[in-house]
């Protein structure tokens, strides 16, 4: 899977993309990343990519021409090849989720556009952006950190990047939070691990883990339980256990 990232600050990406799983996935050829400096498409001597807003007001706005030229150059001719999604990272976008990450992981290529300053000229949005994503209801200084979050969440779902088993039971993969994890020693500072985990009964371990996922989700994110129920992800055992815990569906 290939990610093209359009940004005014390509240097910001070196750290997160040069370490750990994202680094390994690039070395293994499972993902590749193209970093493109929007300023390279500015036409003037000063490589100007922003300007004051029409109508006045605070801050600067990303100019239409360099940004549009960068998107078009990186995207290629849409008549020749099916164009990849052009995703703008912006606090006004649809809120990013595990479901959206899974959807994007099925694409062969994504173009991520990092907004900056007060935003970008609205006409570029209309003409070239196909989707807008926000990573949460707060405002960052720019879209770069948000693009890193999206690449990280999508890349780990690309087949082979991480062990498939760890994806199927992790938080949010099926609208439930994860069960708690323990490793050696069996007793730490007078705290033993739950006995079932050292019992050797795989069936009991699986049942305990499922119940822990339900219990945690009810305690911390009851909104997710409603979603899991609506998606048909809770069986009769789950519902009986949740009823024991006092869950009353609305
Ligand atoms: N740019 C600024 N804030 C953002 C956010 N919350 N998500 C995505 N891009 C952003």
**In this predicted model, what pLDDT tens digit does every residue of 21-72 receive, in sequence order?**
999 999 999 999 999 999 999 999 999 999 999 999 999 999 999 999 999 9
Looking at residue 249, its pLDDT comes to 79
Q: Specify the ligand 1 atom closest to the Cα of 89.
A: 9
Query: Which residue intervals of the chain bear CATH 1.10.1270.20?
Result: 175-244
| pLDDT of 211 strictly over 80 | yes
**Confidence (pLDDT) at 133:** 98
Q: What is the pLDDT of residue 194?
A: 98
From ligand 1's centre to the CA of 165, what distance in Å?
31
Strands (E), 142-228: 187-188, 191-192
Question: 8 Cβ partners below 8 Å, 6+ apart?
Answer: 37, 38, 39, 49, 62, 114, 116, 142
If one compares 248 and 65, the residue with the highest pLDDT of the two is 65
Cα dist. 230→113, 170, 175 in Å?
34, 19, 10
Probe ligand 1: pick from 131, 146, 149, max atoms within 8 Å of CB? 146
Count other C-beta atoms under 10 Å from residue 100's C-beta: 17
Q: Whose CA is nearest to atom 9 of ligand 1?
A: 90
Distance of CA 237 to the CA centre of its chain: 32
Q: Answer with the residue of higher pLDDT: 165 or 185.
A: 185
Both ends of the chain: CA-CA distance in Å? 42
Best probe residue, ligand 1, of 131, 133, 135 (max atoms within 8 Å of C-beta): 135
Dist CA 24 CA 171 (whole Å): 23
Strands annotated E in 169-243: 187-188, 191-192
Indicate which residue's Cα is closest to atom 10 of ligand 1.
Answer: 90
d(C-alpha 243, C-alpha 220), whole Å: 16
CA-based Rg of the chain, rounded to a whole angstrom?
23
pLDDT category of residue 182 using cuts at 50, 70 and 90? very high
Question: Which residue among 5, 12, 59, 93 has the greatest number of ligand 1 atoms within 8 angstroms of its CB, and so is best to mutate?
Answer: 93
Q: Which CATH class is domain 175-244?
A: mainly alpha
Element spanning 94, H or E:
strand 86-95
Q: Does domain 2-164 have CATH number 3.40.1280.10?
A: yes
For residue 18, what is the DSSP state? Answer: T
The per-residue pLDDT for 250 is 66
What pLDDT was estimated at residue 81?
A: 83
Distance, CA of 142 to CA of 127 (rounded, Å): 21
Q: List the residue whose alpha carbon is closest to atom 6 of ligand 1.
A: 91
Q: What is the pLDDT of residues 133-150, one digit of tens each?
A: 999 999 999 999 999 999
Please say whether the beta carbons of 24 and 158 come within 8 A.
Answer: no
CATH 3.40.1280.10 occupies which residues in the chain? 2-164
Write the Ramachandran bin of 89: left for phi over 0, alpha for psi from -120 to 50, otherwise beta: beta
249 three-class SS: coil
pLDDT digits (tens, 9 = 90+) for 73-112: 999 988 888 899 999 999 999 999 999 999 999 999 999 9
Locate the ligand 1 atom nearest the alpha carbon of residue 115 and give its number. Answer: 1
Which phi and psi (to 5°) does residue 124 adopt? -70, -40
Which pLDDT score, from 0 to 100, does residue 117 have?
72
């Amino acid at each position: 899977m290939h990610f093209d990232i359009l940004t005014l600050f390509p240097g910001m990406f070196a750290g997160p993309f040069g370490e750990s799983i994202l680094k390994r996935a690039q070395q293994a050829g499972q993902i590749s990343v193209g970093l493109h400096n929007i300023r390279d498409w500015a036409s003037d001597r000063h490589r100007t990519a922003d300007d004051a807003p029409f109508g006045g007001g605070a801050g600067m706005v990303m100019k239409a021409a360099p940004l549009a030229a960068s998107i078009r150059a990186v995207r290629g001719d849409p008549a020749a090849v099916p164009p990849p999604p052009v995703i703008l990272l912006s606090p006004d976008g649809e809120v990013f989720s595990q479901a959206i990450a899974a959807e994007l992981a099925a694409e062969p290529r994504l173009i991520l556009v990092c907004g900056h300053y007060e935003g970008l000229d609205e006409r570029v949005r209309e003409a070239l952006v196909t989707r807008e994503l926000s990573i949460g209801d707060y405002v960052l200084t720019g879209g770069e950190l948000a693009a890193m979050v999206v690449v990280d969440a999508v890349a780990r779902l690309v087949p082979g990047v991480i062990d498939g088993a760890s994806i199927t039971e992790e938080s949010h993969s099926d609208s439930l939070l994860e069960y708690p994890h323990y490793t050696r020693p069996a007793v730490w500072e007078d705290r033993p691990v739950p006995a079932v985990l050292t019992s050797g009964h795989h069936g009991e371990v699986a049942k305990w883990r499922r119940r822990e996922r339900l219990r945690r989700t009810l305690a911390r994110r009851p909104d997710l339980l409603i979603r899991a129920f609506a998606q048909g992800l809770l069986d009769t055992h789950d519902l009986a256990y949740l009823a024991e815990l006092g869950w009353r569906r609305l």
